[in-house]
Amino acid sequence: MPLTRSFRATVTRLAGEASFIFDGVVERHAASSLSVLAATPGTAIVRVGRVYDAAGDLRDQEGQVVTVVFPSRSLGVEPGAQRLFFADPFIYGETVGVRAIEILDAEEDVGALSALVQEVTARMEEERLREHLAEADAVFQGVVTDRHEVEDPSPLSEHRPDWWVAVISIIAVLKGNLTGELLARYPSSTDVRWYTTPKPAVGQEALFVLHRDGLHYGGTGLAILHPGDVTVVDRSELERHRRLIRPE
């Protein structure tokens, strides 16, 4: 049965809010599969069926149980009920704990639902990438030829970035007035604040998206600050980035 227009509109809205979209069967109500999360009338253990969209560390949850913290308006879901969950993870332990943003009746046409979620998330990802590139001060393809530690004048703390500088030889410029080589600062720290920020390796060829953050250490004001600032791309992805920076 085709997805209704109202259902498509609801999924489109919710897909923009949730980072974990899956269908599943409620196994136990007022229960928890996590020792650090107490069972309450607003929690349930759910067996994950199909994962429609998720971050990398959640894509392997098919067939696993998760603990869902229900929105108050959804407490009437009974054991054995199959539902479509739009949720965000917030606890990792023996299993995963997620907060449900919304819960819908599961659709029989899982193929159409999967295609819709992929379409919506791809469109959102493209818009996020467009905004990221627009905010960048330099975007180019290059190869790391050297890297070295620099003095970090920031106060000693667990969140100190421990700045290093990468020397990058430019191959192709997508944004900025760049030639030859340039220096890019990056945090070498693996603290929770910085561990997802890329750490360039000598010999690495990638697309670099650099930013000015008002600081100037190690002879450069350009920095690698976000998880997507260093990515390995093929020719088609390189052209995609070029198109997003300079749309025709």
For the stretch 4-39, pLDDT in tens is 788 788 888 888 888 898 988 999 988 999 999 999
At 75, the pLDDT band (50, 70, 90 cuts) reads low
At 73, the pLDDT band (50, 70, 90 cuts) reads low
Does 191 or 211 have the greater pLDDT score? 211
Q: What is the mean pLDDT of residues 151-179?
A: 86
Q: What is the mean pLDDT of residues 141-154?
A: 89
The DSSP bridge partners found for residue 82 are: 25
Q: Tell me how far apart the alpha carbons of residues 244 and 88 are, in angstroms, rounded to a whole number.
A: 29
pLDDT at residue 136 above 90?
yes
Beta pairing class for 65-69 and 96-105: parallel
Q: Which residue has the tokens 């308006």?
A: 73
Closest CA to 139 of 221, 234, 230: 230
pLDDT of residue 231: 93
C-alpha distance from residue 213 to each of 191, 194, 223 (Å): 19, 15, 7
Q: What is the mean pLDDT of residues 197-203?
A: 95
Domains of the chain: 5-128 (2.40.50.120), 136-245 (2.40.50.120)
pLDDT of residue 18: 87
For the stretch 206-236, pLDDT in tens is 999 999 998 888 889 999 999 899 999 888 9
Residue environment code for 183-219, b if the CB has 16+ CB neighbours within 10 A, otherwise e:
bbbbbbbeeeebeebbbbeeebebbbbbbeeeeebbe
At 74, the pLDDT band (50, 70, 90 cuts) reads low
Phi and psi angles of residue 51, each rounded to the nearest 5 degrees, phi first: -95, 120
pLDDT at residue 149 above 90?
yes
pLDDT of residue 247: 66
Highest mean pLDDT among 58-67, 221-230, 239-248: 221-230
pLDDT at residue 156 above 80?
no
| Three-class SS state of 204 | coil
pLDDT at residue 154 above 90?
no
